[in-house]
């Protein structure tokens, strides 16, 4: 019975369901670099990323900015309103031309209560997001800069979700990667050149990421330095 439920949930088409006439939502389009919502803005809706890409950023009082997530089509964001948040804890910015569906808080709650398959998918999304936050915190506390960067690149490439040995990632700036990793752009540049020298990544319009980059995450840093003849 549980296996049957999981299969039904996996086959449920969230995008198709949200596009039905019975769901009250607002469709919004943004250009690259446009702010979808600001940090501290009203938290009154859940957004579904229909197409494009979004980065979530937090800016500290001293002006330092951190990128806490990169989102792509098929993901929800801004769901904090359902948990009682009244203001956005992060800003959402379009990485490229982007279309989102905005669903007001009360409408989202209604849909969750009435459509069980949708509710299952949404809960799954929230649990995965919580797991990712825990993994990110562990990464920041215990891993070196090069390991954090390698993990960030693998996450952007959705490593493990496809069988291809290499995947091309749309252009992502070194500033954005630095914000994800918690370092400077110059340090990111050093390690990106290092990964390229080792054959883990290639530049060809976007970034071509080889699954062998996983070695950086799994191996001790001294082994990577030896292979690259890095001081």
Q: Please count the other Cβ atoms lying within 10 Å of the Cβ belonging to residue 174.
A: 16
Per-residue pLDDT for 21 more than 80?
Answer: no
pLDDT range class, residue 22, cuts 50, 70, 90: confident
76-132 tens-digit pLDDT: 999 999 999 999 999 999 999 999 999 999 999 999 998 888 999 899 989 988 898
Provide the pLDDT for residue 217.
85
Query: E strand or H helix at 48, and its extent?
Result: strand 45-51
Provide the pLDDT for residue 82.
93
205-223 tens-digit pLDDT: 678 888 889 889 887 645 5
Provide the pLDDT for residue 35.
97
Provide the pLDDT for residue 204.
75
Using CA atoms, how far apart are residues 146 and 21, in angstroms rounded to an integer?
48
CB-neighbour burial class of residue 150 (10 A; exposed 0-12, middle 13-18, buried 19+): buried
Provide the pLDDT for residue 4.
43
Phi, psi of 8 (to 5 degrees): -65, -40
Mean of all residue pLDDT scores within the chain = 84
Strand ranges (E), 52-142: 53-59, 65-72, 76-77, 91-94, 98-104
Per-residue pLDDT for 165 more than 80?
Answer: no
Provide the pLDDT for residue 55.
94
pLDDT range class, residue 15, cuts 50, 70, 90: confident
**Which 3-state string (H, E, C) describes 208-220?**
EEEHHHHHHHHCC
pLDDT over 70 percentage in the chain:
83
Least confident of 160-164, 218-222, 224-228: 224-228
Predicted TM-score (pTM) of this structure: 0.76
Per-residue pLDDT for 7 more than 60?
Answer: no
pLDDT range class, residue 167, cuts 50, 70, 90: low
Which DSSP string do the residues of 180-203 spell out, in sequence order?
Answer: HHTS-HHHHHHHHHHHHHHTSEEE
Contact of 52 with 99, CB cutoff 8 Å: yes
Between the CA of residue 118 and those of 13, 16, 44, 182, 208, what are the distances in Å? 9, 11, 20, 35, 34
pLDDT range class, residue 144, cuts 50, 70, 90: very high
Q: Cβ contacts of residue 80 below 8 Å, gap of 6+?
A: 43, 88, 89
């Amino acid at each position: 019975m549980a296996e049957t439920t999981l299969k039904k949930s996996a086959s449920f088409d969230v995008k198709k369901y949200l596009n039905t006439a019975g769901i009250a939502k607002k469709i919004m389009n943004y250009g690259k670099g446009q702010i979808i919502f600001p940090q501290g803005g009203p938290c009154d809706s859940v957004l579904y990323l229909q197409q494009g890409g979004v980065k979530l950023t937090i800016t500290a009082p001293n002006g330092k900015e951190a990128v806490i997530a990169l989102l792509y089509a098929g993901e929800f964001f801004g769901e904090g309103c359902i948990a009682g948040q009244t203001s956005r804890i992060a800003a959402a910015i379009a990485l490229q031309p982007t279309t989102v569906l905005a669903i007001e808080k009360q409408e989202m709650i209604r849909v969750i209560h009435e459509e069980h398959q949708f509710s299952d998918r949404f809960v799954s999304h929230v649990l995965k997001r919580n797991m990712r936050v825990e993994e990110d915190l562990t990464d920041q506390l215990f891993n070196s800069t090069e390991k954090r960067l390698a993990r960030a690149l693998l996450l952007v490439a959705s490593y493990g979700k496809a069988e291809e040995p290499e995947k091309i990632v749309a252009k992502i700036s070194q500033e954005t990667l630095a914000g994800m990793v918690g370092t400077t752009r110059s340090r990111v540049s050093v390690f990106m050149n290092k990964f390229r020298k080792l054959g883990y990544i290639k530049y060809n319009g976007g970034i071509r990421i080889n699954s062998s980059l996983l070695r950086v995450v799994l191996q001790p840093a001294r082994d990577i330095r030896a292979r690259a003849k890095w001081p």
